[in-house]
């Protein structure tokens, strides 16, 4: 776990991290908090949101909670509006929330398609719109960090909609970076490789270790901290000139063509 920085490099900043009640999102929120940023926690369940808000405050920063279901366009707008009303100034947006419904692409229903596209692409777009307008109006040299997936580069089995939506997020990142650069706002993207979601479960750990030995040159699967470190990099004052980039964090997985 990251040690608290002696110099809190994000002191005075406020970050909204979507999907921050568990997994990658919560770890990202904690890393930004340890650097001094106030955090807006968001997830679908109000109880989970408040539980993480309390935990973030234990790190010595302010935290707010706004529950939202990002499969609904109206909820994405509400999350942005309520966040801006709560904090007054938003410096960082991390579009982390994401999900996948696995199955053959020819079996995907209209409802399944809309749900996945809304969560993974449309809601991040909407939140970025609100954040960008806010930052431009107030002269904030802000940061937007989107989360993609290695599946936008290699594809996952039975995840055509998810991978396509995340590929769209990567192109969206480049477009937004181009448009927002004149305002001093940077937009970047982190594409995680294989990440062990439940490291405390022995069966999961053993399965992931087998997978890593066979597929990942670095010899292990990713951890939430690996992704949080990349997100933090894009949010630091020293990296404002880095924009429009997609950083693949995958232990060289995408470099490896397995030989049978």
Over the stretch 124-180, which tens digit does the pLDDT of each residue have? 999 999 999 999 999 999 999 999 999 999 889 899 999 999 999 999 999 999 999
Nearest to 3 by CA among 43, 34, 25, 28: 34
Residue with tokens 């970025």, as numbered in its chain: 128
> Does residue 53 register a pLDDT over 90?
yes
H or E segment at 90? none
Confidence of residue 32 (pLDDT cuts 50, 70, 90): very high
In a domain, 95, yes or no: yes
Please pick, among 115, 162, 183, 211, the residue that the annotation labels catalytic.
162
Confidence of residue 203 (pLDDT cuts 50, 70, 90): low
> Does residue 68 register a pLDDT over 70?
yes
> Does residue 184 register a pLDDT over 60?
yes
CATH number for position 44: 3.40.50.720
In a domain, 259, yes or no: no
In a domain, 30, yes or no: yes
* pTM tops 0.85, yes or no: yes
Give percent above pLDDT 90 in the chain. Answer: 85
Q: CA-to-CA distance for 256 and 91, rounded, in angstroms?
A: 37
Taking a C-beta distance cutoff of 8 angstroms, is the pair 18, 42 a contact? yes
Q: Which residues are bridge partners to 40 per DSSP?
A: 16, 64
In a domain, 135, yes or no: yes
Residues 26-44: what's their mean pLDDT?
98
In a domain, 147, yes or no: yes
In a domain, 1, yes or no: no
Sequence-distant (6+) residues with CB within 8 A of 58 are: none
Burial class (CB in 10 A: 0-12, 13-18, 19+), 105: exposed
What the block records as the tokens of 130 is: 């609100």
Query: For residue 28, how many other CB atoms are within 10 A of its CB?
Result: 30
| The pLDDT value given to residue 199 | 63
**Containing structural domain, residue 134:** 14-251
Taking a C-beta distance cutoff of 8 angstroms, is the pair 153, 146 a contact? no
| The pLDDT value given to residue 5 | 52
Q: How does DSSP classify residue 70?
A: T
Q: CA-to-CA distance for 213 and 217, rounded, in angstroms?
A: 8
Q: CA-to-CA distance for 162 and 152, rounded, in angstroms?
A: 9
For residue 162, indicate whether it is catalytic.
yes
Q: CA-to-CA distance for 187 and 93, rounded, in angstroms?
A: 9
204-227 pLDDT, tens digit each: 788 888 889 888 999 999 999 999
In a domain, 9, yes or no: no
Domain count, the chain: 1
Count H helices, E strands: the chain? 8, 7
Please tell me whether residue 40 adopts helix, strand or coil conformation: strand
H or E segment at 188? strand 186-192
In a domain, 260, yes or no: no
């Amino acid at each position: 776990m990251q040690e608290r920085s002696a110099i809190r490099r994000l002191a005075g900043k406020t970050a909204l991290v979507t999907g921050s009640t568990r997994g990658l999102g919560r770890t990202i929120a904690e890393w930004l908090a340890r650097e001094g940023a106030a955090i807006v926690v968001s997830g679908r369940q109000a109880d989970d949101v408040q539980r993480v808000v309390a935990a973030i405050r234990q790190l010595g920063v302010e935290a707010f909670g706004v529950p939202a279901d990002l499969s609904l366009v109206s909820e994405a707008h509400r999350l942005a509006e309520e966040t801006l009303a709560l904090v007054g100034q938003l410096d960082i947006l991390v579009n982390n929330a994401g999900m996948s419904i696995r199955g053959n692409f020819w079996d995907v229903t209209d409802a399944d398609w809309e749900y996945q596209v809304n969560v993974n692409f449309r809601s991040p777009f909407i939140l970025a719109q609100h954040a960008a307008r806010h930052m431009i109006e107030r002269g904030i040299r802000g940061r937007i960090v989107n989360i993609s997936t290695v599946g936008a580069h290699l594809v996952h089995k039975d995840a055509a909609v998810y991978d396509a939506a995340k590929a769209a997020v990567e192109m969206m990142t480049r477009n937004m970076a181009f448009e927002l650069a004149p305002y001093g706002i940077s937009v970047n993207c982190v594409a995680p490789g294989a990440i062990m979601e439940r490291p405390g479960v022995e069966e999961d750990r053993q399965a992931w270790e087998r997978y890593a030995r066979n597929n990942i040159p670095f010899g292990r699967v990713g951890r939430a901290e690996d992704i949080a470190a990349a997100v933090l990099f894009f949010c630091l004052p020293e990296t404002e000139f880095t924009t429009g980039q997609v950083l693949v964090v995958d232990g060289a997985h995408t470099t490896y063509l397995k030989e049978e």
